[in-house]
Structure 1
């Protein structure tokens, strides 16, 4: 090769290398300055010192009846995706609230499945909103029991469990909470706090109409002191993970169709025509690829990271505690992945998981996917995409930036169909509601990991933003298999199992309500 030919090649190589170097140094992902090495110590919160022996004794005496209430709930089908038993379950919940003495109970019609509102006036100084979801996921075919709606008690390596759809997600812990109310009212005649119950039947669908559920009582609910979601959060060894919020989300479809821009507009055509005809499938793939770096791990949509709120000093202390106890290898084994991106671990991985927005392809389809060979050029391609949004990044802004990026890069023909979207929610660990819950956990000797929020999403902004309330979700108890076969909730732990059984779960809810009454 002559020098005259070699020089352009060298210059091109240098240009490529410089572009890679610039990309590494100009990453849009922010680097957060860490201002403290202090570690939040949940165990330092004073343990709740109250005791309510008469109520505890009533729970013990009525435990068989309380188990039967859980079984009654899970036996009522309520698959929201299939509209299977939904209205019957709403009626069952409403009837149970009336039986407990809730003076006002309404079944609220929405454009989708109904909600339920209830009000118990204890004449107390403090008022708590209790969130419930009464819908469940569809059934998978490979359960170890014949009927996931039979509400069977099954012997398990952890002890006696209630194995059923909805056992732990979320009918079991919610009915356990109502059992605790029943024992308190039967023993003392009232409750230590006033209660609103706000229940929906579309949580498993993304809560598209939850705003309509709370709308009739919105102004009343805003006068409450906090909101609580009863939930099993213990692992079998008795440890608990308390998350103080959730990321937001946008979930949408991206679609490329043939049309004026090119590509077949009515139906697939022969694959040999690719020499002459644009491919909607390839356009969609390229549009998706344009939104991240080539490895798929950094979003390059302009401005996407800019609005994310940097970790506060309080959140840094929580993250430091999480990092101190982190076991990345165990989590990787649980998810059957060999490593985190780039070999991250410890605090770096936690910060990335909590404070980074994501861009994820949930599904992608186009053309022929059957057996054998069929050479076609499809006229349409579709993808389902989600992006998790940390506090600060709003859904409307995310959609706007995605659309602007596509248009700026020549993908004007790509259609975006929003399917769901809501912002993040978070509550301070210093909120009296959270402190009261941690105090009860400490009474029961529970080692608790506290996270600023969960990397997953739920529409809890309706409490923190719409109603302006501190919101916490958690409680003693263990279950597993949500959205999967053999879902269960632990009822009677075997010897050596650290997680609470039903009796202690209900007693802890008694303590939580009293702690909230005393500590708001």
Structure 2
């Protein structure tokens, strides 16, 4: 992948990173030269066929694919596979896994460079209080920001993914080929934690490792046009912790009358005490021995990115949006950003035991369960995290508690100096959407499969605006209203055209 950029741009980036932190300015992505290529014939085709392109997005969101409920998932996989064949991918397969099928496709353009495109075709379940009657109707709705496609999957992630394929289609029709070879690897279980994505990659790993880069199309602009480019994700473990009555005490078969608490141990209280033992009294410091030790310090380039973020950070606005009044320990600015990115979490997602219905019912529950996740910065591995938690529980007298891992994968990260990152920033700069660049997102996704399993640089994002992922008003912007600076569908597709050519030509030329 190093061949994607000439040494002058890479050297410029290194110099900026080395020099600016000392001056307090941080790395400035605006200094990366904007992509200068123009592909007018392809742009014109996109403009002339934009209604058909919108129809393709609508066709995708109209196909249900709720992975958690096995609702339309295989049909969506077959639809994606058929679309790849129609787009000229000579090699297309449904890849069976222990769960939902994946999709593999390869387009041989006879090009020097090869890009792997990751896609997820599954969506979240729908809520009963959707803003529109049918979230799978692909309805167009007028909002103050403009005309939007409102549907489950509109922005997460069917809309931007099909927009990318629309751009591929426009290039092919206009030029007869593509500037890069393309792999598409798609899964139908991202919303389930990607438990079987490795099985999708497994038959093709040696081929995929020979690619130059990997990319995930995603809407990252706000209506104002501002964008954030995250260069990775934290890892995660997700597990259930259960206390159940047994030889240690507590009722072992079923709930009993609450009056027996004077004589009988409580699994519910035991679970609460076990969870409490894993953090400080305020819940904000993880007390599991060794949990922070593997986490590395920010590198010079990562500190430069953090300094840049801190210069424009608005803690109060974000706190208001989240409905909270303050950060832990009153942190602000750079300290808050660094903690968000470089500290692990230990978070109780849900906890239940006994009677939780209306009114009263006095019982002593025979079991109690909590769902817990921990976000893992680079350096803290899932297997090590699970082992440390188990050792902590055993050491503190909670050896009887069951720890049931449900998912887990490590962090992923691509350095800002990488040519792929440079190419993406250059394209965004061309469209006046110079991004705020973050070392990684504090959330999690299975992107380690690209950075670690395949050893490829990986970037996710691009132009375009959407909101309401997992919510009852999910949408993707199609036609911006006056004053909305985020890209609509046509401009988004043109930026994908530019990105493919930037990767084939070398960014900044």
Secondary structure, aligned partner of 1:176: helix
Partner of 1:513: 500
**In the alignment, is residue 303 of structure 1 matched against residue 302 of structure 2?**
no
Aligned residues: 487
What TM-score results when the alignment is normalised by the length of structure 1?
0.93
Equivalent of 1:165 in 124, 142, 152: 152
Aligned 1:169-208 pairs, distance under 5 A: 169-208=156-195
Secondary structure, aligned partner of 1:298: coil
Partner of 2:92: 105
Partner of 1:146: 133
The gaps in structure 1 that reach 5 residues or longer are 1-33
Q: Distance in 1 between matches of 2:441 and 2:47?
A: 34
What TM-score results when the alignment is normalised by the length of structure 2?
0.95
Partner of 1:376: 363
Partner of 2:447: 460
Q: Report if the CA contact (8 A) 1:193-1:517 is conserved.
A: yes
Partner of 1:339: 326
Partner of 1:120: 107
Q: Report if the CA contact (8 A) 2:427-2:498 is conserved.
A: yes
Q: Distance in 2 between matches of 1:434 and 1:403?
A: 39
Aligned 1:265-414 pairs, distance under 5 A: 265-414=252-401
The gaps in structure 2 that reach 5 residues or longer are 1-19
Q: Distance in 2 between matches of 1:272 and 1:57?
A: 77
Q: Distance in 2 between matches of 1:517 and 1:428?
A: 20
Q: Distance in 2 between matches of 1:141 and 1:257?
A: 35
Q: Deviations over 1:20-63 (max 9, x none)?
A: xxxxxxxxxxxxxx985450100000000000000000000111
Secondary structure, aligned partner of 1:247: strand
Deviates more, 1:272-281 or 1:201-210: 272-281
TM-fit CA distance, 1:447: 2.9
> Max radius of gyration: which structure?
1
Partner of 2:249: 262
- 1:338–1:295 Cα change, 3 Å: same
Q: Distance in 2 between matches of 1:273 and 1:336?
A: 41
Partner of 1:135: 122
Q: Report if the CA contact (8 A) 1:241-1:449 is conserved.
A: yes
Partner of 1:238: 225
Q: Distance in 2 between matches of 1:114 and 1:168?
A: 22
Partner of 1:31: none
**Cα RMSD, aligned residues only:** 1.0
Q: Report if the CA contact (8 A) 2:127-2:471 is conserved.
A: yes
The runs of at least 4 consecutive aligned structure 1 residues that moved more than 6 Å come to: none
